[in-house]
Structure 1
Amino acid sequence: MMKFTTLSAALALALGSLSVAAQQVHQASEKAVKLAQENILIDTHIDVPYRIHNEWDDVSKATDRGDFDYPRAIKGGLNTPFMSIYIPAHLEFEGKGKSYELANQLIDMMEALAYRAPDKFAIADSVTDVEKQFKDGLMSLAMGMENGSPIEGEIKNLHHFYERGVRYITLAHSQSNHISDSSYDIRRKWKGLSPFGKELVTEMNNIGMLIDVSHISDAAFYQVMELSKVPVIASHSSLRKYTPGFERNMDDDMLLALKKNGGVIQINFGSSFVTSSANSWYDRRDEAQDKAKEAGKDTTDFKAAYLKKNPFPFASLEQVLDHIDHVVKLIGIEHVGIGSDYDGVGDSLPVGLKDVASYPNLVQGLLDRGYSDADIKKILGENMLRVWRQAEAFAKAH
């Protein structure tokens, strides 16, 4: 998750400005729909918990807000969403007990969701859970923690959250914490991982907790690669090839290291992760607002006015597919999956991938590009299941 300012009602104006080429969406065929709906489809990053913590929505039913609810997920074929236990990277949270408290509250909410709708949802703590619940027609709610702040320097807290069902931890978020430097934070306190962070990586391996390298600095990433005995995931990252200078995404050298590690990158759908034009739009807007302030102008409604004059350059489905193609060509089909960041990137989602009902569009795009059914199944879920199994097996052996 990266919190961007909502693009507001002017969204329609921006959509209207898109070129015809950018608006082209692969119409999902019956085959594409069946591939999405009849196989395990894992999305490793959906920000429902924090969304409904801020403003309650019963996502077991159709909702008017957000990118996820049960009916839309079923339509799209999503059966294994990793619900993000997202902890803001605020100084008032880090090291003061509030991170730990919020993480437990968000986990409680996911357990309550499964309890209230047992005919729809079930908590998934393992690959076995996912496979059984898929056969039983239930949606598996797996959990990943976005930002390791709730660990609060205590290995016992790692074990606590594992027992509560968390199966991956994004070591840091938008600011460096007591575990790792963040890709967004120019203050590189640890020059990678902290001493405790290095200890934590080893213990995460030992207990079967997957390490998520999204959000961390490049130095921290390579230190994880040296330390981890288990394949890692990038739960919601895309490629720096298409967003030069954006450290939050992964470059080709990192992808090659990921291949050596055996891990998987789960492609983020947010437009600012997919194209450089969308990535730099926010900077251009903020610079314009700063100049307006310096000139003494009223900036109360600046963002809406800027958006009206400078429509947001939404990414296209084709551009998301380009990211997948590049990973496959560089390191192989076994190392890519889906980490959409639904409910985490505001209104910045690409044309054709606006919510959890949209996965068949992605599948159709893959079919149109010549991907086999077997390869598509790997992208949808098999690659992530492989990594998860390996983490479970290593823990069992240790």
Structure 2
Amino acid sequence: MAGLALLLAGCATTSAPAQKSHRDFLTLDTHLDTPIHFARPGWSFAGHHDPAADLVQVDLERMDSGALDGGFFAIYTEQGPLTAKGYADALAFARKRSDLIDTTLAAFPNRIDFAMTAEDARRIDRMGLRIAFKSMENSYPLGEDLSLLEDFHDRGVRLAGPVHGANNQFADSSGDTPKWNGLSPLGRKWVEEMNRLGMVIDASHASDAAFDQMLELSKTPLLLSHSSGREAFDHPRNLDDGRIRRLAAKGGAICVSTIFLSNMNMTPERAALFTQYEHIADLSPEQQADLARKWRALDATQPMWAADFERYMAMVLHVIQVAGVDHVCFGADWDGGGGLPGIADISALPKVTERLRQAGYSDADLAKMWSGNILRIVEAAERAAR
């Protein structure tokens, strides 16, 4: 009987598996602006970059330390004039940026690989490599020729948004005065073509009306690649609770960002540094280091955001409560203005998992939020295209 008691005690001890660590989850971020750094002279994506002298927030070393398995590397194109020349210049830039992503990441075949499908991502993860999807932030480079969407699909783009910080030929921006009252007629056709190609629609940066219309028109779930909740901070870039619930009801997900949890303290000095940052690849290594020093000094005296890790996690928990664990993911806007004290780059990601654990979320919940919801939406787009 004593032996049986010991056996039963042993079974009780081993019946509950240990919780997974952050490193055990497949983790993806849906919006990495890191390609802005890829053409910097003397810079390597695999190198060590001292935060005091370099502004980059994502590199292979940090992906290892923060256990970020991969994400969507963005082809971001600045909004320009809605003219034939504006479109042509933007198209040339976007193609060049796409090629730069390809050549930069292809230099590390034993560390990172490109994913075209959700199953690719899982396969690459099983191989022990980092995962690179491609996305398109702002469809402005397409001009009025929607056949160019297929060109970018062929280049590996699987996630795209119609608009950025200003209205364009497809849609109204959340940061501009309404022109189309949502989508333009061409923007509605853009939604159809995105569905046909099996590309996921990214509604971040779109106006409320454009979001509403994309949600209604799209045959597949929407993703917001880097957006916050408006109830946490009232800003047009953020999504209100009612729209978050409607997004979830249609199978979509909001990938929570670190930006716009407060007003943006864009002083003239900060704006000048941002202009330099947007053209960082044109600076010498010495100028790059000088930019970083000035940026960090300004962070110490005039922070860009009046928020920190605690504020971020409060907002994350609110969005989870509203949307549910099946409709939340992460897209902090790394290298595009994101990052806060306590979550300054991707090496801090394990802290997010730890805090979600403390809030009572399970392994299954965390697996969904770190990548499961994203891959489910990618697969939904794939199925619709087939």
Same fold by TM-score, threshold 0.5 exceeded?
Answer: yes
- 2:26 aligns with 40
Q: Secondary structure in 2 aligned to 1:128? A: helix
Quote the residue 1:281 is aligned against: 265
Aligned with 1:208 (options 178, 195, 198): 198
* Letter of the structure 1 residue corresponding to residue 265 of structure 2: W
Whether the 8 Å contact between 2:38 and 2:101 is mirrored in structure 1 is no
Cα 1:309–1:394 shift into 2, 3 Å = closer
The whole-number CA distance in structure 1 between the counterparts of 2:122 and 2:155 is 20
1:145-160 alignment to 2 at 5 Å? 145-160=136-151
**Closer, same or farther in 2 for the Cα pair 1:71/1:185, shift >3 Å?**
same
Q: Is the 8 A contact 1:37 1:74 kept in 2?
A: no
Distance 1:55 1:254, change over 3 A: farther
Any conservation in 2 of the 1:327–1:335 contact (CA below 8 Å)?
no
Q: Which amino acid aligns with 1:60?
A: A
What's the counterpart of residue 278 of structure 2?
none
SS at 1:91's partner residue?
A: coil
Percentage of pairs with the same residue: 33
Partners of 2:42 and 2:195 in 1: CA distance? 35
What does the per-residue CA deviation read over 1:349-387, in whole Å, with 9 as the maximum and x for residues that have no partner? 222211111110111111111111211111111111111
- Structure 2 residue matching 1:97: 3-state secondary structure: helix
- Give the Cα separation in 1 of the matches to 2:247 and 2:215: 8
3-state SS, counterpart of residue 90 of structure 2: helix
Q: Which secondary structure state, in structure 2, belongs to the residue aligned with residue 344 of structure 1?
A: coil
Q: Is the 8 A contact 1:314 1:351 kept in 2?
A: no
Q: Which residue of 1 aligns with 2:68?
A: 78
Superposition deviation, residue 210 in structure 1: 0.6
Displacement of 1:157 in angstroms is 0.2
Closer, same or farther in 2 for the Cα pair 1:225/1:57, shift >3 Å?
A: same
TM-score norm. by structure 2 comes to 0.82
Q: CA deviation at 1:98?
A: 1.5
CA distance in 2, matches of 1:157, 1:62: 37
> What letter is aligned with 2:172?
D
SS of 1:357's partner is helix
Q: Which residue of 2 aligns with 1:265?
A: 254
Distance in 2 (alpha carbons) for counterparts of 1:234 and 1:384: 10
TM-score normalised by L of structure 1: 0.80
Taking only aligned residues, the RMSD between alpha carbons, in angstroms, comes to 2.5
* C-alpha contact 2:87 2:140 (8 A) present in aligned 1: no
User: CA 1:75–1:192 in structure 2 vs 1: closer, same or farther (change >3 Å)?
Assistant: same
Mapped partners of 2:303, 2:211: distance in 1: 35
Question: What residue is the counterpart of 1:51 in the other structure?
Answer: 37
1:239-318 equivalent positions in 2, closer than 5 A: 239-244=229-234, 246-270=235-259, 273-274=260-261, 276=262, 279-282=263-266, 285=267, 310-318=302-310
Task: State how far apart, in whole Å, the 2-side matches of 1:386 and 1:312 are.
Answer: 35
Structure 2 distance, partners of 1:324, 1:116, is: 35
1:310–1:353 Cα change, 3 Å: closer
Structure 2 portions without partners, runs of 5+: 1-17, 272-294
Would you say the 8 A contact 2:76–2:137 is kept in 1?
yes
Deviation at 1:38, TM superposition (A): 2.1
Residue of structure 2 in register with 1:326 after alignment: 318
Of the structure 1 ranges 151-160 and 229-238, higher mean CA displacement relative to structure 2 is found in 151-160
- Bigger shift: 256-265 or 34-43? 34-43
Structure 1 residues 374 and 53: alpha-carbon distance in aligned structure 2, compared to 1, 3 A threshold: same
User: Structure 2 CA distance, aligned partners of 1:154 and 1:91?
Assistant: 16
Task: Say which of 88, 92, 96 aligns to 1:97.
Answer: 88
Q: Which runs of 5+ in 1 are unaligned?
A: 1-30, 290-302
Answering whether residue 102 of structure 2 is matched by residue 116 of structure 1, we say no
- How far apart are 1:262 and its partner, in Å? 0.8
Post-superposition shift, 1:96?
2.9
Distance between the aligned counterparts of 2:29 and 2:176, measured in 1? 27
The higher relative CO (CA closer than 8 Å, separation ≥ 6) is in 1
| Residue aligned with 1:45, SS | strand
Larger radius of gyration: 2
Cα 1:157–1:378 change in 2 (3 A) is same
How far off its partner does 1:150 sit?
1.6
Q: What residue identity is the alignment partner of 2:106?
A: Y
